């Protein structure tokens, strides 16, 4: 299923300057295209458009131990609330925590790499408010967190 994610601003990498008017076309678990929102909506008029107030960019790579919580599932969901889509494999060495991460499509990386939005890459996106709080997280093309 295709979805266009658009926000007030978009940045393709965490250190990039955010730019207005851009969007990301997601097909299944992959980024199909990044480009001007008007061009994507014209090229794909039947595709659902999710509009976010904030800055859309790549989901974050978590650095350090996962947040404390009563269960492995809740520890993974705490990552989603922070805009995280990937973790170093060393941080999920516990078999139950690893299983929860994989079951929820978190990217478990043997070699951490900087997150970027690029066509063909995994559709791991996050939307952040001006105060840095996470408004929404998309992991492998699935909306896994949306702040009420």
Q: Supply the pLDDT for residue 6.
A: 97
What pLDDT is recorded for position 1? 85
pLDDT value at position 91? 95
> Does residue 132 contact residue 82 with C-beta atoms inside 8 Å?
no
16 and 54 share a domain?
A: yes
| pLDDT tens, residue by residue, 50-59 | 999 999 999 9
Whether residues 6 and 23 fall in one domain: yes
Same domain, yes or no, for 13 and 54? yes
- The pLDDT assigned to 81 comes to 97
Residue 73 sits in the same domain as residue 142:
no
> Are 74 and 8 found together in one domain?
no
Which residues form the domain of 28? 2-58+116-146
Lookup: tokens for 6: 């658009």
Shared-domain flag, residues 6 and 54: yes
Residue 7 has a CB neighbour count (10 Å cut-off) of 25
Instruction: Give 74's contacts (C-beta < 8 A, 6+ positions apart).
Output: none
Based on the fold, state whether residues 22 and 91 are members of the same structural domain.
no
Tokens of 83: 């805009």
| Predicted local confidence at residue 111, as pLDDT | 93
The C-alpha R_g of the chain, in whole angstroms, comes to 15
Q: pLDDT in tens for each of the 148 residues of the chain?
A: 899 999 999 999 999 999 999 999 999 999 999 999 999 999 999 999 999 999 999 999 998 999 999 999 999 999 999 999 999 999 999 999 999 999 999 999 999 888 999 999 999 999 999 999 999 999 999 999 998 7
User: How far from each other are the two terminal CA atoms of the chain, in whole angstroms?
Assistant: 24
Domain count, the chain: 2
Does 52 share its domain with 120? yes
Q: Are residues 132 and 97 in the same domain?
A: no
- The answer to whether 75 touches 69, Cβ cutoff 8 Å, is yes
* Residues 40 and 65 reside in one and the same domain: no
Here the CATH number for the domain that contains residue 22 is 2.30.40.10
Same domain, 66 and 82: yes
52 and 65 in one domain? no
- Per-residue pLDDT at 139: 98
């Amino acid at each position: 299923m295709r979805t266009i994610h658009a926000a007030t601003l978009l940045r393709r990498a965490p250190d990039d300057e955010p730019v207005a008017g851009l969007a990301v076309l997601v097909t299944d678990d992959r980024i199909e295209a990044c480009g001007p929102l008007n061009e994507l909506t014209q090229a794909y008029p039947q595709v659902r458009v999710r509009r976010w107030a904030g800055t859309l960019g790549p989901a974050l790579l978590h650095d350090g131990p996962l947040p404390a919580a009563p269960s492995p599932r809740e520890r993974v969901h705490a990552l989603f609330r922070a805009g995280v889509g990937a973790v170093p494999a060393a941080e999920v060495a516990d078999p139950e925590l690893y299983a929860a991460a994989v079951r929820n499509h978190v990217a478990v990386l043997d070699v951490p790499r900087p997150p970027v939005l690029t066509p063909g890459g995994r559709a791991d996106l996050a939307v952040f408010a001006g105060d840095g709080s996470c408004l929404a997280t998309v992991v492998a093309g699935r909306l896994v967190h949306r702040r009420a």
